[in-house]
Amino acid sequence: MDGQHGPQHAQGSTLGQLNGLRVVEFTHMVMGPSIGVILADLGADVVKVEPPGGDRTRSLLGSGAGYFPMFNRNKRSVCLDLKSEEDLQSALDLCRGADIVIENFRPGTLDRLGLGYAALADINPRLIYCSAKGFLSGPYEDRTALDEVTQMMGGLAYMTGPPGRPLRAGSSVVDITGGMFGVIGILAALEQRHRTGKGAHVNCSLFETTAFLVGQHMAQKDVTGQAAQPMPVRISAWAIYDVFETKQSGEQLFVGVVSDGQWVKFCQAFDLTQLAADPGYATNNQRVEARETLLPIVRALFADIDRAVLVERLERIGLPFAPIVRPDELADDTHLNAQGSLVTLTLENGTTTRLPALPLEIDGQRAGVAYDLPKPGEHNAQLLRTGR
């Protein structure tokens, strides 16, 4: 690895592939911190630069209350007032020795402070600088954007809600996916640096990420000649692909039958021999065209069977199925708790929470926690005195 910064992480705490790389993070909210937490879980030494008193994301309410705990583990924190000459110099010193800098401020903000890519590349030519923005270069590049803004203007909200009622997805899906593209760009730039010795400026964005996510629906218009319909009223690619009521009130189950082979197994498992024998239902497209006939039959069938019985039978024959689960219920999920898919973190009030680990295994290993959620400025003395 190129750099040799920061303390060595405990064996098995993080995945370790990026051990030795120093990352300086000027970020807030979700998109920028998501880049940092992925790099940190992979072993990079990530230093989060916060304003005095800490990142304001720490104190968000409502749907923002989980942002900081989810995206800031495995980082060290320094608090700096970038309007102060002394603290600005400390920030420059951190960047001078960094391999990677991440920022997600409004365009031009860090440039005015002398912390933009051009200024830092002059003092650190090997630096990889990642800017997480609303838009890539073009007419919109100076606009302010949020996840929800780009979901609306990028077609995702249109596809999620029913006609006339655009609805944002129920997660910061564009912030997080945009951050993932930022990580991809950083890793590509690292590989380029191995060959050239030079750093690079990586830009990732919300709007272009949203467009990428709905690209399949853009293609659908050209393939079929008709614009894609919102998901609640779309013509499904499969006939049995829906949420069904089961015998117990309120216990729903999603079930999908997505191949001709699965259709045969499904009919055999639920004694639907007449349907299996009917040549009018033999192929997937025939069943899609007969969806309004087939769905009521399956709904009536499932409504008379316990959900636990359905689950056992569907799992045994290998069909896709899923209970409908709230996010908080995942903390008790048997699979997530079995092999390290959840990590334990300490919240600012001293209570603990269990949150998703990086969704990767490399050589059978998963990322854990080297550093708990940092307190604001917890590592000022350590980092600003020694640089390590």
| DSSP secondary structure string for all residues of 201-242 | EEEEEHHHHHHHHTHHHHHHHHHHSSPPPPGGG---SSSSEE
CB neighbours (10 Å) of residue 139? 7
Residue 387: band (very low, low, confident or very high) from pLDDT cuts 50, 70, 90:
low
Residue 17 belongs to some domain of the structure: no
pLDDT of residue 148: 97
Q: For residues 319 and 374, state if they share a domain.
A: no
CATH number for position 116? 3.40.50.10540
Q: Give the mean model confidence (pLDDT) for residues 87-98.
A: 97
Query: Are β-strands 22-26 and 45-50 bridged in parallel, bridged antiparallel, or unpaired?
Result: parallel
Residue 13 scores a pLDDT above 90: no
Assess whether 244 and 301 both reside in one domain.
yes
Q: What is the pLDDT of residue 180?
A: 98
357 domain residue, yes or no:
yes
Q: Concatenate the DSSP letters of all residues of 366-385 into one string.
A: ----SS-PPPTTTTHHHHHH
Q: What percent of the chain has pLDDT over 70?
A: 96
Nearest C-alpha neighbor of 295 from the set 335, 348, 256? 256
- Strands (E) across the chain are located at 22-26, 45-50, 75-79, 100-103, 128-133, 200-205, 241-245, 252-256, 321-323, 342-346, 352-356
The pLDDT assigned to 7 comes to 45
Is 343 part of a structural domain of the chain?
yes
CB burial of residue 271 (10 Å; 0-12, 13-18, 19+): exposed
Quick one: 178 and 262 in the same domain?
A: no
- The domain that contains 260 carries what CATH number? 3.30.1540.10
Q: Are residues 181 and 67 in the same domain?
A: yes
Structural domain total, the chain: 2
| Residue 243 belongs to a domain | yes
Shared-domain flag, residues 45 and 142? yes
The per-residue pLDDT of the chain, averaged, comes to 94
pLDDT band at 10 (very low <50, low <70, confident <90, very high): very low
Q: Do residues 260 and 175 both lie within one domain?
A: no
pLDDT at 11: 36
95 and 64 in a common domain: yes
The residue from 326, 361, 377 where one domain ends is 326
- Mind listing the pLDDT tens digit for each residue in 102-148? 999 999 999 999 999 999 999 999 999 999 999 999 999 999 999 99
Out of 3-17, 223-237, 321-335, 367-381, least confident range: 3-17
Same structural domain for residues 197 and 254?
A: no
The reported pTM is: 0.92
Output the CA torsion sign for 31, 32, 37, 38. Answer: positive
Instruction: Identify whether residues 376 and 314 lie together within a single domain.
Output: no
Residue 351 within any structural domain of the chain: yes
Burial (CB count <10 Å: 0-12, 13-18, 19+), residue 252: middle
For position 234, what pLDDT does the model report? 83
In a domain, 278, yes or no: yes
Closest listed residue to residue 48, CA positions, set 65, 69, 72, 31: 72
Residue ending a domain, among 280, 305, 326, is: 326
Among candidates 77, 9, 87, which has minimal Cα distance to 44?
A: 9
On the question of pLDDT at 150 being above 80, the answer is yes
Residues in the chain: 388
* pLDDT of res. 265: 95
Domain hosting residue 244, numbered range: 236-326
If asked whether residues 109 and 196 sit together in one domain, one would say yes
User: Is residue 375 predicted with pLDDT exceeding 90?
Assistant: yes
Q: Are 27 and 33 in contact (CB under 8 A)?
A: yes
